[in-house]
Amino acid sequence: MCSYIVEKTAVSGSAKGPNGWMRIDTANVYFDHPYHAPLDHALAIDFVCEADGANERVAVELSADSARALVKNILAALTSGEGAHAA
């Protein structure tokens, strides 16, 4: 199906796109038909800077399983990394 559901997350950081590094303030997350990945549905994340007009984005389209694995490993990296830096 085509869904209009987009989960918006305020983020703080930078992303590197075709024109180099840019600041980002928003991650738009949705699960729908991908544009490029050969999947029926993909978990897509568009990193944009709405404050700058969101004219550029850094995009990924992931399978549902790999997206879940990524979420798990983001949390694992944060836990181990923050623990190491606190030591």
Partner 1 sequence: MSYPSLLAETVTFTGHNGDRGEAYYARPTRAEKFPGIVVVHHLPGWDEWIIEVVRKFAHHGFAAISPHLYFRNGPGSPDDVGARVRASGGVPDDQVVGDVAGAMAFLRAQANANGKVAIIGFCSGGRHAYLCACCIDNVDAVVDCWGGNVIVDDKTQLNAKRPVAPIDLTENLRAPLLGLFGNDDQNPTPEHVNRTEAVLRRLGKNYEFHRYPDAGHAFFNTKRTAFRAEQAADGWAKIFAFLRKHLAA
CA terminus-to-terminus distance, the chain = 48
6 binds partner 1 (CB under 8 A): yes
d(CA 82, CA 1): 39
d(CA 56, CA 41): 23
Whole-number Cα distances in Å, 62 to 6, 30, 40:
15, 11, 11
The least CB distance from residue 2 to partner 1, in Å, is 4
The least CB distance from residue 61 to partner 1, in Å, is 10
Pick the binder of partner 1 from 15, 24, 43, 48 (CB under 8 A). 48
Choice between 22 and 54, CB closer to partner 1: 54
Binding residues (CB under 8 A) for partner 1: these are 1-4, 6, 8, 28, 30, 32-36, 38-40, 44, 46, 48, 54-57, 59
